[in-house]
Amino acid sequence: MRIFLIILAVIVVIIIILVLLGAGFSAFFSRTTRVADPAQAKLNGQEMIKNAKVVVVVGAHPDDLEYYTGGTLGTLAAKGKKVIGVTVCDLGVIQATRRAEGTKAAKVLGYTPIFLGFPERDYKGNRGLTDAQRVRVRADILAIIKKYHADTLLAYDSADQAPVYHHIDHIRCGVEAQAAAWKAGIKRVYLYSSGNPDTTVDIKPAGVRKSQAIAAHVSQQNRTGILLARTLLGWLRPFGVRADRPTGPVGGSSESFRKL
């Protein structure tokens, strides 16, 4: 009888811990997704999809475009807009594999992929983009904007980041992409992974393709950290974690941006 009570107590404590963790996760992820005026943000998103003609979207790594903007890219392409997806940092030992995966994902979503081949920041001593390389990144993006006569740019919000996962490559590529857009005179600039979004795009019609495009990055699916995080989130979901947060980078029914 006593052992039964002890087991029961342990189970209750574990449940309480899970609930608290779940609430904490939930609050944490909610911070990434606050939209001050949801109705206006929805209108802004519709305006973006309607009026963009040629869109250049810049990401640091081969799967960034899919995670942060896949639904928006799929929606734009389905509406006949020209979309060019630029991946800046993809130099590494599995570059050929990652380019093949990125190309497959681009095909699923319907955009033209361009890989610039700059080094990625890693934890084996590579510090990422040097100042000289950043100048070239900016020039390369500017050349692409001009070549395709782009009128809209999507890039990482390096000035007002969502409070999750601040990768130095993301920040630097966001800065250079915005600088290139400014130099090219692009008026329509939308920043993803923003801490202060004011534009939401309904991605439900493109949701399946977004999942398929993310799944195309096979080499990124089996990393222990991601697997652990996903498993944990899966466990915690019943306790308050909203894996369907509308503006989260992975799941959800919309993607959010801050319009410059």
User: What DSSP element (H or E) covers 18?
Assistant: helix 2-31
Q: Rule CB under 5 A: say whether 151 interacts with Zn ion.
A: no
Nearest residue to Zn ion by CB is 61
Give the nearer residue to Zn ion in terms of CB position, either 64 or 176.
64
Answer yes or no whether residue 64 interacts with Zn ion by CB under 5 A: yes
Our finding on whether 209 is near Zn ion (CB under 5 A) is no
Q: Quick one: 44 or 178, whose CB is closer to Zn ion?
A: 178
Give me the sheet containing 82-91, strands edge to edge.
112-119, 82-91, 54-59, 152-156, 188-192, 254-259, 199-202
Q: Which C-beta is closer to Zn ion: that of 61 or that of 209?
A: 61
Instruction: Report the nearest approach of Zn ion to the CB of residue 203 (Å).
Output: 19
Q: Which of 24, 33, 31 is nearest to 240 (CA)?
A: 24
Stretch that binds Zn ion, among 14-22, 53-61, 139-147, 248-256 (CB under 5 A): 53-61
Burial 197-222 (b: 16+ CB within 10 A, else e): bbbbbbbeebbebbbbbbebbeebee
Amino acid at 115: F
- Which residue among 22, 57, 61, 202 contacts Zn ion (CB under 5 A)? 61
